[in-house]
Structure 1
Amino acid sequence: MKPLLLIVAYLVAVTLPLAVSAWVGGPPRAFHQELASGLGILAFSMILIEFVLSGRSKTISRGIGMDVTMRFHQLMARTALVFALLHPFLYLGTPSGGQRPWDPTRALTITTDFSALSTGIAAYLLLPSLVLLAIGRTQLGYKYETWRLLHGIGALLIALLLLHHTVYAGRYGSEPVMTWVWLALTGLAAGSLLKVYLVVPLLQKARPWRVSSVVQLTPRQWEVTVTPDGHQGLAFKAGQFVWLNVGHNTFSMKENPFSICSAPAAGPEISFMVKERGDFTCSIGQIEAGTTAYLDGPYGNLSVDNRPEPGIALIAGGVGLAPLLSILRQLRLSGDSRKVKVFYGNRAVEQIAYREELGSEDVVYVLSEPPEAWQGEAGFIDGALMDRIFSEQEFGEWVFVMCGPAAMMDAVEDHLIERGTPSHRILSERFDYD
């Protein structure tokens, strides 16, 4: 029910300005003009609600998961972009010029007040740039912290420009009721930014952590363990993640999402499996014990707690092992009686982490570049491999939990659906999009 309620809440929030505009009414206009206004209203409301979707809401994250949230965020952002781009062209053919005595409501006339139009034009130019930069973030190669700062500032600037344009150039936006609606939604959007960049950092100051150990697992993978400093720690479920800030003040932009690899039942210490990729992670091995850290979370719903399935398949690629290791550790510590099978894919044998702890029973190791003496599976985690391991009954009854490269998860998800696995029994978590 929770995902359904969240979807309903989203639809209500997005369509509220449109409904109020229809209630405010006005003299009838040509259909294409009403469509232009409607698309503009929907685009603006969708942009404002995007702030909430990306604002680290634990309710949304735990209710529908980060995977669905981020995919929905992307889809709605692109839909809003299409609506916004179409909006001005549908006014073509509408008489221009100043207000006519015979048209006091501006039902047939677009304003020529350049200050009101200029903010709309500026937002019209900025919005495609914001979306395209988000899509091409990885290819452009600039630092995550830089992109995050620019994305937040750009989105807020667009929202403010559109607020001015809508209220002063819009037929409906200038109505007092609509003005208050737009102010309330813009305030909600700005509030979500203030929560992430002001409220949460202030709260984190009272709950610091200390790095207790940094251990090298493989040539490019590390385990970082932090312990609570003066508080009880963090209540989380196996499979969830947090935003981790190590060695910086709470207002620093240098924080990144990492899945927890330790189990809740193991105690207050929390461990992370971190791969060297760039920026902060390249210097992970230089972090000293005692360094101050801050955690924001937990987020995500990659959890098998209280699920009814008789078996659990954990499918990991590379550092995607982290949340699944947390789940596996929790299952073992709690004495869970459900059957478990683990698939762990890597490129080379030296990249396999926690091999001694994982063991060999019900664990399938897969290497894409195996050495000559390799006794495990070679290639990739794909449908053919799963068909050799799972029975038809297991495909239909087990829950499948995945984290790893997008190509692996896409291939496995497609095969599971093809084999009849219900979608609610396929859980996945991604941190890379587009």
Structure 2
Amino acid sequence: MTIVKHILYAQVVCVANVLPWVLEMKPLLLIIIYLGAVTLPLVLSALVGGPPREWHQELASGLGILAFSMILMEFILSGRFKVISNGVGMDVTMRFHQIMARTALVFALVHPFLYQGTPSGGPRPWDPTRQLTLSTDVSALLSGIGAFLLLPTLVLLAIGRTQLDYKYETWRLMHGVGALLIALLLLHHTAYGGRYGSEPVMTWFWLAMTGVAVGSLLMVYLLVPLRQRAHPWRVASVSHLTPRQWELIVEPEGHRGLDYKAGQFVWLNVGHTPFSMKENPFSISSAPATGPKLSFMIKELGDFTRTIGQIKAGTAAYLDGPYGNLSVDGRTEPGVALIAGGVGLSPLLGILRQMRLTDDPRKVKLIYGNRVIDQIAYRDELDEEDVVYVLSEPPETWRGETGFIDGGLIDRVFSEEEFREWVFVMCGPAIMMDVVEDQLVKRGTPGHRILSERFQYD
């Protein structure tokens, strides 16, 4: 396939342009592994596929092969593999997953329109010339058409999930089943309708890749729940923090608990079997040094969180984790800047508590923003630290900062030396983190000293 080198180059350029900030976090090895995995089918096809055809036909086949391999890799990127998510951050993993899904969609949609001419001869793979552009095997074409229609539907539903306002559990089930169906349709289409996929070597290769993808689903939906069932938790208490914020504490039942770092998060399932999809990601607000109990700061937002106050002590719970790299453990900076918006305080509170309990010598400053004064949580505990409170709708008697956490506030709180030498950890609304990150970069803070995790994207 003479077009292989051009597609390889395009992939490298795409990743380099779209995710330069990923490279700053040093996941270069993971990027190389990803590129190797998605382009290996192209290389193998070039070796076993026979004489090259016209460039547009080779490009069509190349894009189709690449789209299929990228779709199979999406199963790995969306799975809970700690070697990936804990290495570069869950938000980076999911952002990369979303960008590559959209890239694969473009490749898949363009792929059939690059073929030209009318299929002729007997249905492939029995054509001895091996020069047919398309198979005349209707079933092979139908499976490709089915995937062609289903893939954009799946991507659009994922992009518009928030606007469509259907339950997370419903979307998760639809997304998983839809992705599995697309993978199986593409496997059939590639093996029976593709010029290269019907080669025995490639057929076995695609079967192996599809098996790995399906195996990642089995891990998330079968193996992980089985492990959770062997390590259950119980709700120890549920208490009110503010009018719409709660503290949920769970304790291990019959085991020693969770080995985690302050700032990490888990997938929490309360009141359901471990095989239920009714689980949600929550940051741990407790510190490892406090013992096996875990605490979570939860705001009433979705279907589960609106009922948090109804949960009784003793209710069964299951955890999957820990995940994330929002941690300052082992870092050598002389100071730690914590910037929180609303419930984004939760992981930063865990970091603050761990530093206090371990007599961490590093200096700490916390900026904590809310809309109104009643939303400030853990104030008695936080007043012991160097804290800057910010309210966007302050009462007349308020003497703290007003407005939003923006560049001007950041400049007032931190010195030039702190911008250069401290590590900055933030969690909160996306717009707040965008503003803060832009200001930190402007003030000369290196990218590897800016830590954040995001879970909502366009």
TM-score, with structure 2 as normaliser: 0.92
TM-superposed deviation, 1:410? 0.8
**Residue 286 in structure 1 maps to residue 287 in structure 2:** no
Of 327, 332, 337, the match for 2:361: 337
Of residues 46, 67, 88, the one that matches 1:43 is 67
Q: Which deviates more from structure 2 when the two are superposed, residues 390-399 or residues 243-252? A: 390-399
2:386 paired with 1:386: no
Distance 1:399 1:425 in 2: 5
Asked if 1:163 is matched to 2:191, the reply is no
Show structure 2 runs of 5+ residues with no match. Answer: 1-24
**Partner residue of 1:121?**
145
Could you tell me which amino acid in structure 2 is paired with residue 397 of structure 1? E
Output one character per residue of 1:142-162: Cα deviation in whole Å (capped at 9) or x when no partner.
Answer: 000000010000000000000
Residues 349-387 of structure 1 show CA distances to partners (whole Å, capped at 9, x for unaligned) of 101111111116411111111111111111111111011
Letter in 1 for 2:122: Q
Structure 1: 5+ residue stretches without partners: none
Q: 1:208·1:294 contact (CA, 8 Å) conserved in 2? A: yes
Q: Distance in 2 between matches of 1:18 and 1:210?
A: 50
8 Å CA contact 1:99, 1:109 repeated in 2: no
Between the aligned partners of 1:36 and 1:292, the Cα distance in structure 2 is 53
User: Residue 120 of structure 2 corresponds to which residue in structure 1?
Assistant: 97
CA displacement at 1:89 relative to structure 2: 0.7
Map residues 21-420 of structure 1 onto 2, 5 A cutoff: 21-91=45-115, 93-99=116-122, 104-359=128-383, 361-420=385-444
3-state SS of 1:380 partner: coil
* 2:448 pairs with 1:424: yes
Instruction: Give the superposition deviation at 1:95.
Output: 3.0
Q: Deviations over 1:286-314 (max 9, x none)?
A: 00000010000000111000111111111
Q: Distance in 1 between matches of 2:132 and 2:54?
A: 9
- Identity over aligned residues, as a percent? 77
CA contact (8 A) 1:98 1:111 kept: no
Over residues 370-427 of structure 1, what are the superposed CA-to-partner deviations in whole Å (9 max), with x where a residue is unaligned? 1111111111111110111111121111111111100101111111111111111111
Q: Secondary structure at the match of 2:89?
A: helix
Find the aligned partners of 2:129 and 2:218 in 1 and give their Cα distance: 38
Give the CA deviation at 1:97.
3.2
Contact 2:49 2:195 in 1 (8 A): no
For residue 331 of structure 2, what is the amino acid of its counterpart?
Answer: R
Number of residues paired by the alignment?
433
Q: Mark the CA change 1:176 to 1:2 in structure 2 (over 3 Å): closer, same or farther.
A: farther
Amino acid paired to 1:280:
F
Amino acid at match of 2:56: H
User: Does the C-alpha gap of structure 1 residues 49 and 227 become closer, same or farther in structure 2, counting only changes over 3 Å?
Assistant: same
Cα distance in 2 for residues equivalent to 1:109 and 1:262: 61
Contact 2:268/2:282 (8 A) holds in 1? yes
In the TM superposition, residue 100 of structure 1 has moved relative to its aligned partner by 8.8
1:145 maps to a residue whose letter is: E
3-state SS in 2 of match to 1:235: coil
Deviation at 1:262, TM superposition (A): 0.1
Q: State the 1:111 CA deviation.
A: 1.1
1:62-84 Cα offsets, whole Å, 9 max, x none, are 11111211111111011101111
CA contact (8 A) 1:312 1:340 kept: yes
Whole-angstrom distance in 1 between the partners of 2:49 and 2:112: 20
Aligned amino acid, residue 96 of structure 1: P
1:132/1:32 CA distance change after superposition, 3 Å = same
Q: 2:118 corresponds to which letter in structure 1?
A: P
User: Which amino acid in the other structure matches residue 55 of structure 2?
Assistant: F
Question: What CA distance in whole angstroms lies between the structure 2 residues aligned with 1:258 and 1:99?
Answer: 57
Does 1:20 pair with 2:39? no
Deviation at 1:2? 6.8
Superimposed CA distance per residue, residues 4-32 of structure 1 (whole angstroms, 9 cap, x where no aligned partner): 22221111111111111111131220000
TM-score (norm 1): 0.98
Code of the aligned partner of 1:159: A
Does the residue aligned with 2:424 lie in a helix, a strand or coil?
A: strand
Asked whether the equivalents of residues 99 and 106 of structure 1 are also in contact (C-alpha less than 8 Å), the reply is: no
Change (3 A) 1:199 1:371: same
| Aligned partners of 2:231 and 2:253 also within 8 Å | yes
- Kept in 2: contact 1:29–1:108 (CA 8 A): no
Distance 1:95 1:103, change over 3 A: farther
Aligned equivalents of 1:371 and 1:104: distance in 2?
82
Cα offset, 1:103, TM superposition: 6.1
